[in-house]
Amino acid sequence: MSRICQITGKKVMGGNNVSHSKRRTKREFCPNLRIKRFWFEEEKRFVTLKVSAAGIRTINKVGLKKALEKAVSEGYITVY
């Protein structure tokens, strides 16, 4: 499975480890992803999503229905 948040679209970024001597080696910055079930009140069922910590806060703030609608419109998920 890909490491992409289904709500915010956050994904792996590339960068460098920088040592004390300023020597640079490649590394990845991974999002803080969790597989979490949310209760979808409108359809009376659970929805399982792979979301980042920021995505969980977004769902808590705006609600699951609006967050899912925005994710579908931006192309992060197709079916929920």
- Does 2 score more than 90 pLDDT? no
Q: What is the DSSP string of the chain?
A: ---B-TTT--B-EEEEEE-TT--EEEEEE---EEEEEEEETTTTEEEEEEEEHHHHHHHHHH-HHHHHHHHHHHTS-S--
pLDDT-derived band at 25, boundaries 50, 70, 90: very high
Q: What is the pTM of this model?
A: 0.87
Give the pLDDT of residue 80: 83
Spell out the domain ranges in the chain: 13-74
Instruction: Evaluate if residue 75 carries a pLDDT over 70.
Output: yes
Homologous superfamily of domain range 13-74: Ribosomal protein L28/L24 (2.30.170.40)
Residue range 42-56, pLDDT digits in tens:
999 999 999 999 999
